[in-house]
Chain A
Amino acid sequence: MTTPSSVQGGNPVQERRETFSSRKLFILSAIGSAVGLGNIWRFPYIAYDNGGGAFLIPYLAALLSAGIPLLFLDYAIGHKFRGSAPLAYRRLHRGAEVLGWWQVLVCFIIAIYYAVIIAWAAMYTWFSVTKAWGDDAAGFLMGEFLQVADVPGVKLEYVPGIFWPLLVVWLVIIVIMVAGVRRGISRANGIFLPLLVVMFVLLVVQSLFLPGAIDGLNAFFTPNWEALGDPGVWAAAYGHIFFSLSVAFGIMVTYSSYLKRKTDLTGSGMVVAFANSGFEILAGIGVFAALGFMAQAAGSAIDEVATAGVGLAFIAFPTIVSEAPFGALMGVLFFGSLVFAGMTSLISILEVIVAAVQDKTGWGRVASAVSVCVPVALISIVLFPTVTGLYLLDTFDAFVNSFGILAGALVAVVLISWVFRKLPLLSKHLNRTSTVKMRRTWMVLVGVVAPLALAYMLYNEFVTKITEPYEGYPVEFLAIYGWGMAGALVVVAVILTLVPWSRKSKVDDPEYAAIAADEDEEKVS
């Protein structure tokens, strides 16, 4: 909790910046943020589809050459400049504030649809007990549960079975966010993350005992070495690592701004990065063991049942739950894991927005959290528990990932490395208190390797999405909610940058000024 501090001079009384009470809680929260739905429902299929066991090589290369270096870039910015994304970027360079707002807006878009998936998973935790889907999980999902309209669009026709759980999800999240970094975020992660790990380990153990599990593991780990010659496989590895570690959209900048001054940034970051990957490998084992069982039960091959995303979680898994011994338990463990993994990530996504508003306005925690979370929740509740919610969710997700996160990351690394030339300064900051030193190699990885990988991925995304309409959705729908939404993020980011900082804001925070002066002195001595 924040404690008011008396401030010298004529400035209004400001609250001290909150901090994580220990390094352990920061690491737990950062892992909670990084481990999300993607680790469970995306990684297993990506690895299987891109060379199986051989995928490990591009995966590790991407982790070490781009994922971890970019993670440290975020840590360095957040920790050195001690602010939310807009404030930290502004302190890095006056012209960089807009990058921070762009990241805040990306988080806004993700938050409004991410909560909906948590609500679905919460409902499916209960459905696992009743086996509500009967023999037709796909038909149940699209028909009875989501009641998906035939044509993509935005209709305000509500589905009560999603509306109410979504409302509950938002209420829980709002309580956590209002409580702040120590009482809310730290505690929620301290409870949800261990729960997630225990539930997921139990799920993996249960999956391994299913008949056919070995076939699934064979499919997952057998290497296809030829895949290594395919640039698409390497792009998939970089793309996955990039999204998996939650880098470059403000989360890690915000979380590291709550770290105490003398913290081992890189040492902590290594734990976060490897814990995230460790969880993914576990997910791969659990998911493919279960898919092996599903294939055997259906008398089909693994490649016929292997899938990712909504199809894996809400169609394949319910089918497995119906057929497996102790299926109800398996369903509760799987969907419960999705709920907890999603909650800890959503908290971090919202914190980016709350922190930005708190810094720019100078409002207290409660006022900032309420004024951010309530409108975000309302927009989420108005747009998504509807018959067209799935189309909107899918489109927002596809376009914000490519033209929000990827594009934003590319612009940010290029500007920071080559225009503002701040990498030497940030490298010095990382090395000031960290055990794993980041020097010239890190600068080359952030300044050269990461931009090249990001540019290649962005180019691919652009070509794919411009050549044919995404998922065959109507062009006007994509023009507004895909391309239009992604473009609007940049425009609104510019507008928010032009809004002057309030007199009470953190822009001239004496606490930061004192720290910056201290660090300058250290350098001189």
Chain B
Amino acid sequence: MTPIAITMLVIALLTIWGGLALSLVNLSRHPEDEGQLPEDIAPEL
């Protein structure tokens, strides 16, 4: 691959997958309210 194509590939992955990683970290820092947890989760999940 050409250097410029590789650079754009890396930037795209960093911004978008990085954004996904950050939003997942943010969400995991704020777990669901314990009082709101379900009583019956579908068995296979």
Cβ < 8 Å to A, chain B residues 1-45: 1-2, 4-9, 11-13, 15-17, 19-20, 23-24, 26-27, 29-30, 32-33, 35-38, 40-42, 44-45
The tally of residues in A whose CB lies under 8 Å from a CB in B reads 41
- Contact across chains for B23 and A267 when beta carbons are under 8 A apart: yes
Q: Is the interface of B mostly helix, strand, loop or mixed?
A: helix
- Contact across chains for A267 and B27 when beta carbons are under 8 A apart: yes
- Contact across chains for B42 and A21 when beta carbons are under 8 A apart: yes
- Contact across chains for B5 and A60 when beta carbons are under 8 A apart: no
Interface residue from A25, A222, A263 paired with B45 (Cβ < 8 Å): A25
- Contact across chains for A223 and B20 when beta carbons are under 8 A apart: no
Q: How far is the CA of A56 from the CA of B18 in the complex (A)?
A: 14
A271 lies within 8 A of chain B by Cβ: yes
How far is the CB of A147 from the nearest CB of chain B, in Å? 40
- Contact across chains for B44 and A191 when beta carbons are under 8 A apart: yes
Interface residue from B1, B12, B23, B32 paired with A214 (Cβ < 8 Å): B1
A91 lies within 8 A of chain B by Cβ: no
Interface residue from A56, A187, A436 paired with B12 (Cβ < 8 Å): A56
- Contact across chains for B12 and A268 when beta carbons are under 8 A apart: no
- Contact across chains for A223 and B8 when beta carbons are under 8 A apart: yes
- Contact across chains for A260 and B36 when beta carbons are under 8 A apart: yes
Interface residue from B1, B26, B29 paired with A218 (Cβ < 8 Å): B1
A261 lies within 8 A of chain B by Cβ: yes
Q: How far is the CA of A187 from the CA of B1 in the complex (A)?
A: 41
Interface residue from A54, A182, A214, A281 paired with B17 (Cβ < 8 Å): A281
- Contact across chains for A222 and B38 when beta carbons are under 8 A apart: no
A95 lies within 8 A of chain B by Cβ: no
Chain A residues with CB under 8 Å of B41's CB are 21-22
Chain B residues with CB under 8 Å of A22's CB are 32, 37-38, 41
- Contact across chains for B44 and A56 when beta carbons are under 8 A apart: no
Of the A-B pairs whose beta carbons lie under 8 Å apart in the complex, a sample of 25, sorted by A's number, is A21-B40, A22-B41, A23-B27, A53-B5, A53-B12, A56-B11, A56-B12, A56-B15, A182-B40, A187-B44, A190-B45, A191-B44, A218-B1, A221-B8, A223-B4, A260-B36, A267-B23, A273-B23, A274-B17, A274-B19, A274-B20, A275-B20, A277-B16, A281-B16, A435-B27
Using CB atoms and an 8 Å cutoff, list the residues of chain B in contact with chain A: 1-2, 4-9, 11-13, 15-17, 19-20, 23-24, 26-27, 29-30, 32-33, 35-38, 40-42, 44-45
